[in-house]
Structure 1
Amino acid sequence: MLEFRQVYKTYTTPQGPLSVLSGVNLQLGAGESLALMGESGSGKSTLLHLAAGLDLPDRGEVRIGNQSLAGLDEAGRARVRRETIGLVFQQFHLVASLNVADNLRLQARLAGREEAAWSARLLQRLGLAGRERHYPEQLSGGQQQRLAIGRALASRPALLLADEPTGNLDEATAETVLALLLELVAESGSSLLMVTHSPKVAAPLDRRVVLHRGQLLAEPVRSGLPCA
């Protein structure tokens, strides 16, 4: 579903070139879940942005399904995000002027794949049934993040990209939201790439990799490599 082939990314800084990714190879299969870990500043968010087509590598190739993102212009990459990818961030990014029901349906409508029955099921599973006419400011933090997850999955995307999706929540709420996220991902049939600094959050996923000094390691190193 997602493939990185010898991907390099360098940024220009006042101190000189900063190499963030150095020959990264990564494969994520259909229906598979993968946790991307690494110390702060290791380039996890950069890798996620490349996967979403929000940025392009300096060298190498990123593929979504059979589509190479390098062969698309900005409008083409936006179309792939709209039709194929769901995004969940640490910040909820809900539309303040839309109620719960309209926030939930927003991505599915943009993708042209709104399913009334699936949207209704999501509302129930998210614990938001009966709150359809509420606005984001009337919800708790956990409810807002559940809504953001539902919005991302309402179109049944082939690929879900999640950047620290429980980072703004207290521990108990985070556990509940994470469990719900994984259940809904399984129900929707999506592949999942999740950025997290927490081994506990990463544990339930199918695989874990660590980004360290621009390269991916297959499993977290227990000593000598900080993961947070």
Structure 2
Amino acid sequence: MLEFREVHKAHATPQGPLTVLDGVDLTLEAGRSLALMGESGSGKSTLLHLAAGLDLPDAGEVRLGGQAISTLAEAERARLRRESLGLVFQQFHLVPSLTVLDNLRLQARLAGREDSAWSAELIARLGLAGLEGRYPEQLSGGQQQRLAIGRALAPRPPLLLADEPTGNLDEATAGEVLELLLSLVHETGCALLMVTHSPRIAAPLDRRLVLSRARLISADKAEEEASS
């Protein structure tokens, strides 16, 4: 579903180019989940932006569903995001002027795949039944994040990208939201790439990788290096 082939990326700084990805290889199959961990500033968000086609690699190739993203014009990348990606952010990014139900339906409408029955099921599964007419500011933080997850999954995307999706929640609420997210991902069969700094949040996912010194290594190897 998602593939990085020898991907390089550097950011310009006053001191010169700063390499954040140095020949990164990554494969994520349909229906599988992958946690990407690493210290703040290690390049996790950069990798996620490349996966979404929001940025392009300096060298190497990013492929989404077999399509090389760098070969597409910006309008084509935007269409690919609408049709193939669900995005969940730490800051929710809900539309304040839309109700719970309209926020949920938004991405599905943009993708041209609105399904009223699936929206109703999501509302129930998200614990938002009876709140369809409320606005985001009338919801708790946990409810807003569940709504953001539902919006991302409403069009049944083949790939879900999540950037610290539980970072703004307390530990108990974060656990509940993560359990719901993984359950819905499993049921829809989409692939999940989740950025997190928390080993506890990463633990239930199928695979765990750490971005360290601009390269990807297994979480087990990272733990060995940290303890040596």
- Asked if Structure 1 and Structure 2 have the same fold, meaning a TM-score greater than 0.5 normalized by the shorter chain, the answer is yes
* Residue 207 of structure 1: aligned partner: 207
Deviation per CA, 1:23-81, whole angstroms, max 9, x where unpaired? 00000001000000111111000000000000000000000011110110111110010
SS at match of 2:17: strand
* Residue 57 of structure 1: aligned partner: 57
* Residue 223 of structure 2: aligned partner: 222
TM-score, normalising length from structure 1?
Answer: 0.97
Shift of 1:199: 0.5
* Residue 67 of structure 1: aligned partner: 67
Shift of 1:188: 1.2
Aligned residue pairs, count: 226
Return the letter of the residue paired with 2:209.
V
SS at match of 1:16: coil
* Residue 132 of structure 1: aligned partner: 132
* Residue 161 of structure 1: aligned partner: 161
- For structure 1, the 5+ residue unaligned runs are none
* Residue 90 of structure 1: aligned partner: 90
Shift of 1:223: 4.5
* Residue 107 of structure 1: aligned partner: 107
Return the letter of the residue paired with 1:54.
L
Aligned equivalents of 1:189 and 1:222: distance in 2?
30
Aligned equivalents of 1:167 and 1:218: distance in 2?
22
Deviation per CA, 1:66-113, whole angstroms, max 9, x where unpaired? 111011011111001000000000000000000000000000000000
* Residue 177 of structure 2: aligned partner: 177
* Residue 3 of structure 2: aligned partner: 3
Q: State, as a whole percentage, how many aligned pairs show the same letter.
A: 73
Aligned equivalents of 1:130 and 1:13: distance in 2?
50
Aligned equivalents of 1:78 and 1:69: distance in 2?
10
Shift of 1:224: 4.1
* Residue 33 of structure 2: aligned partner: 33
Kindly report which structure 2 residues correspond to 1:141-152, keeping only aligned pairs within 5 A, or say none.
141-152=141-152
Aligned equivalents of 2:131 and 2:59: distance in 1?
47
Shift of 1:16: 1.0
SS at match of 2:12: strand
SS at match of 1:15: coil
Aligned equivalents of 2:122 and 2:88: distance in 1?
15
Structure 1 consecutive aligned stretches of length 4 or more whose deviation exceeds 3 Å: 223-226
Aligned equivalents of 1:132 and 1:194: distance in 2?
27
Aligned equivalents of 1:79 and 1:192: distance in 2?
20
Shift of 1:225: 3.6
Aligned equivalents of 1:9 and 1:89: distance in 2?
22
